[in-house]
Structure 1
Amino acid sequence: MKELNWRGIDLNLLLTFDALFRLKSVSAASKELHLGQPATSYNLKRLRELLGDPLFERQGNKMQPTVRAHEVAPKVQQILSIFTQDILPAEQFEPQNYTGQFIIGVSDYAEQIFGPDIFDTLQKLAPQSKVLLKPVDSANCVTLLEDQDTDLCIGVFQELPNHLNTTFLYREKHLCTFDNKVLNTKLPIQLDTYLDTPQMIITANQELTSQVDSTLEKMGVKRNVVLGTTRFLTIRRMLSGRNLLAVMAEMVGRSELIDDDLVLCDPPIDIPDFDIDMVTLKRNANHPRIQFLTQLVQNLIQDKVRELRLIR
Structure 2
Amino acid sequence: MRTDLNLLRILLAVYETGNVTAAAKRLGISQPAASAALSRLRHSLGDPLFIRSGTSMRATPRAQAIIEHTREVIEIIDRDILSSPTFDPATSDHQFTFCLSEVGEVVFLPALFERLRKEAPNARVRTISLAPDVLLENLQEGKVDAVLGYFPDLAAPNIYQQRLFSHDLACLVRREHPLVGKRMSLKAFCAAEHLQVSDGSRSQEMFESHLAKSGIRRNIVLQTSHYMSVPSIIESSDLIVVLPRTVANLYTHKVDVKIVEPPLEIPRYDLKQYWHARFHKAPRSLWLRGIISELFST
TM-score between the two structures when normalised by the length of structure 1? 0.62
TM-score between the two structures when normalised by the length of structure 2? 0.65
Name the Cα RMSD after superposition.
Answer: 2.5
Distance apart, 1:136 and its partner CA: 3.6
Q: Give the whole-Å Cα distance in 2 for the aligned partners of 1:172 and 1:236.
A: 20
Establish whether residue 132 from structure 1 lines up as the match of residue 126 from structure 2. Answer: yes
Distance apart, 1:167 and its partner CA: 0.9
Aligned-pair identity in percent equals 21
Gaps of 5+ in 2: 1-80
Does the 8 Å CA contact 2:252/2:258 hold for their aligned counterparts? no
Partner of 2:141: 147
Shift in alpha-carbon separation, 1:258–1:239, aligned structure 2, 3 A: farther
Shift in alpha-carbon separation, 1:258–1:225, aligned structure 2, 3 A: farther
Among 261, 279, 282, the alignment partner of 1:284 is: 279
Shift in alpha-carbon separation, 1:217–1:110, aligned structure 2, 3 A: closer
Among 77, 84, 94, the alignment partner of 1:100 is: 94
Partner of 1:242: 237
Distance apart, 1:92 and its partner CA: 2.5
Q: Give the whole-Å Cα distance in 1 for the aligned partners of 2:132 and 2:178.
A: 37
Partner of 2:293: 298
Q: Aligned partner of 1:117: which letter?
A: A
Gaps of 5+ in 1: 1-86, 307-312
Give the structure with higher Rg (CA). 2
Q: Give the whole-Å Cα distance in 1 for the aligned partners of 2:85 and 2:229.
A: 46
Partner of 1:116: 110
Does the 8 Å CA contact 2:101/2:149 hold for their aligned counterparts? yes
Q: Aligned partner of 2:97: which letter?
A: I
Establish whether residue 252 from structure 1 lines up as the match of residue 247 from structure 2. Answer: yes
Q: Aligned partner of 2:106: which letter?
A: Q
Does the 8 Å CA contact 1:153/1:279 hold for their aligned counterparts? yes
Among 183, 186, 194, the alignment partner of 1:191 is: 186
Q: Deviations over 1:24-45 (max 9, x none)?
A: xxxxxxxxxxxxxxxxxxxxxx
SS at match of 2:177: helix
What number of residue pairs does the alignment pair up? 215
Does the 8 Å CA contact 2:179/2:188 hold for their aligned counterparts? no
Distance apart, 1:139 and its partner CA: 4.1
SS at match of 1:201: strand
SS at match of 1:165: strand
Shift in alpha-carbon separation, 1:133–1:219, aligned structure 2, 3 A: closer
Partner of 1:200: 195
